[in-house]
Structure 1
Amino acid sequence: MAARIDLTLDCTDAKLLADFWKTALGYVDEPPPAPFGTREEWLAQFDLPEDESEGDGAWLCDPDGVGPRLSILMVREPKTAKNRLHIDIRVPGHGSPAERWARIRTEAGRLVEAGGTVLAEFDGHHVVMADPEGNEFCVAAAAASA
């Protein structure tokens, strides 16, 4: 059986990035692990430094259980270089290359409204973007077999 993966993004503002990625991916806040009723209860089992709190992180999941979980964790150091790993958001649907490109550009526009930034467009293929904290990702069409 293949291993499952989670993705983790470092940040300076967990709520800001969580709101953006929930909009971008259609994800929801992940409930705390059983038997905990809240994230605060779950975090209390760890001996966290006094200056760390529940607001220093966010945990998101695909409501359909298909995509990887996304952890967003506050770190003190700023982002200093291009991501070595990035997320590709695949826009569903079929049609002509022009129709697929129109869907990609529409999705990129929606994500700009949510706080993202367009970094580059590769006409007809994909748009390189950054989330509100500068983490790069791409918007492209779904694979033909999807």
Structure 2
Amino acid sequence: MENQSIKWYQKPVTVVLFLIFFFPIGIYLMWKHDLWNKTSRVLVSVFFGLLIVANLGKGKSDSNVSTKNNFKKVSFSEAQNFMRRRLSNINQTLMDSKKTSFDGKILYCFLSVAEDGTVCISSISEFSLEVLASDCGNVYVKTEQWNNL
């Protein structure tokens, strides 16, 4: 074939660029136009085949981790026992507790009183036995906030 009759997609440079940037078309062009010997074409095809096989499972393992949360949720009684122990360590008394929902998640809320009369509202998530927030203040203000939960 003369240079004038070779189309742009039949040139080796074009095929190499397609192999790099869009390999399915590059492999097709490589086999269609017999630009290299058969051994070279087989090696290039095997290389891209191995790349595809090596990358097949990568996306699945990451998505499975995020969609399957095997967390053991904290029960209301576990949260109450945790708060009783915590409050006894800081000289407070648990007065009341309730469940509430926030953004589709369950929060366990606790009303406690310190020896000096300060009232605190604390919360624990259904996902972990740790205090998310605790707000202390005047008994009247905190009682009003508690009643509005």
Fold conserved (TM > 0.5)? no
More strand by share: 1
Higher RCO (Cα < 8 Å, 6 or more apart): 1
TM-score of Structure 1 vs Structure 2, range by shorter chain: under 0.3
Calculate the TM-score normalised by the size of structure 2.
0.26
Structure with bigger helix share is 2
The TM-score with structure 1 as length reference comes to: 0.27
